[in-house]
Amino acid sequence: MATTSGGEVTIRDLSKSFTLSGRPLAVLRALNLDIRSGECLVIVGASGSGKTTLLRILAGLEAADSGGVAIDGKPVHGVGAERAVIFQEPRLLPWLTVLGNVAFGLEVRGVPKAEAEDKARFYTALVGLAEFSDAYPRQLSGGMAQRVGIARALTVQPEILLLDEPLGALDAMTKIGMQEELARIWSEENVTMVMVTHDLEEAIYLADRVLILPREKGGTARLVEVELPRPRDRSESRFVRYREELLREFGLH
């Protein structure tokens, strides 16, 4: 069940600022970026650098002050069916079963229940939760709940998958397993993936390109192309060198 190609994102002169105790605080300043169809772009940056804001603008949950975003040439206003968001928290509906939660995205779009559940069953199996279809969210571990959230997003077969620190709340072991899972899903589903993280290793493991957002005023965003074969090996010397390079960007190495 691969999606059609598409999912090209164009960001032009994008600016956004918030008012913090009466004073405007710019988090994004005239950002320009092209995200290629089917690529995996990972956004990193110190806290306050606006990475989550950028993702929420891409999702259509927040509006830019100036400039804008276009997807496949069409300007973005609000949420859209070609995008799906995976949040840091699973955000499952506690009164629905795993299958009900996975089917939720399709059902609210008016897809008939039987059809939605068929698709939901496929993606529930894809994230390895087939046996838990009838379980309720309170019976799941954190990692399993997040898989349900991922399956729900995949079920609507978006062109663009937006992930806001999706593994941030998981323990280290679960996290590595889930990174492998995301890499596998991304390669199987032919979807454009834009992900925010504060974990540099995660960024190098998953990204075609890493976007580093500056924190200080007047700094410029930087793109790092990760030219490593997949599946990637975390202990390989080139992987470690990418890590050092990113750490240097943050002045930590």
Partner 1 sequence: MSLQHIEQRVTIPAHADRTSLGADFPRLANRTVVRFLSRYGILIAFLAIWQVSSRAGWVNAAVLPPIDTIVIALWNGLAGGTLLGDIAISLQRAGLAFAAAVAVAIPLGLFMGQVRAVETALDPILQVFRQTSALALYPVFILLLGLGEASKVFVIFWATLFPLLLNTISGVKQVDPKLLEMARVYGAARLTVFRRVVLPGAVPSIFVGLRLSATTALLLLIASEMIGANKGIGFQVMNAQYNFQIPLMFAAIVILAGLGLIANQALVSLQRRLCRWSDPID
| Alpha-carbon gap, residue 16 to 63, rounded angstroms | 8
- First-residue to last-residue Cα distance in the chain: 43
Task: Kindly state whether residue 169 participates in binding partner 1, applying the rule CB under 8 A.
Answer: no
Among 26, 30, 79, 240, binds partner 1 (CB under 8 A): 79
Nearest distance in Å: CB 221, partner 1: 25
Number of residues that bind partner 1 (CB under 8 A): 24
Q: Does 105 bind partner 1 (CB under 8 A)?
A: yes
CA 96 to chain centre: 24
> Cβ of residue 83: shortest distance to partner 1, in angstroms?
8
Among residues 235, 188, 179, the alpha carbon closest in space to that of 207 is found at 179
By the rule CB under 8 A, 62 interacts with partner 1: no
Residue 63 is a binding residue for partner 1 (CB under 8 A)? no
Query: Can residue 58 be called a binding residue for partner 1 (CB under 8 A)?
Result: no
* Per CB under 8 A, 96 contacts partner 1: yes
Site for partner 1 in 176-235 (CB under 8 A): none
85 binds partner 1 (CB under 8 A): yes
**Which position among 51, 104, 160, 175 is part of the footprint of partner 1 (CB under 8 A)?**
104
| 240 lines the binding site for partner 1 (CB under 8 A) | no
What single DSSP character describes residue 139? Answer: G
83 versus 232: smaller Cβ distance to partner 1: 83
C-alpha closest to that of 102 among 38, 157, 178, 55: 157
> Quick one: which of 161, 155, 136, 144 has its CA closest to 86?
161
The residue among 152, 138, 156, 143 whose CA lies nearest residue 101 is: 152
Question: Quick one: three-class SS letters along 98-123?
Answer: HHHHHHHHHHCCCCCHHHHHHHHHHH
Query: Please, which residue, 155 or 197, has the CB nearer to partner 1?
Result: 155
Q: β-pairing, 222-225 with 66-71?
A: unpaired
Site string for partner 1, 130-149 (x = CB under 8 A): ------xxx-----------
User: Which residues are at the interface with partner 1 (CB under 8 A)?
Assistant: 59, 61, 79-81, 83-85, 87, 89, 91, 93-96, 104-105, 107-109, 136-138, 156
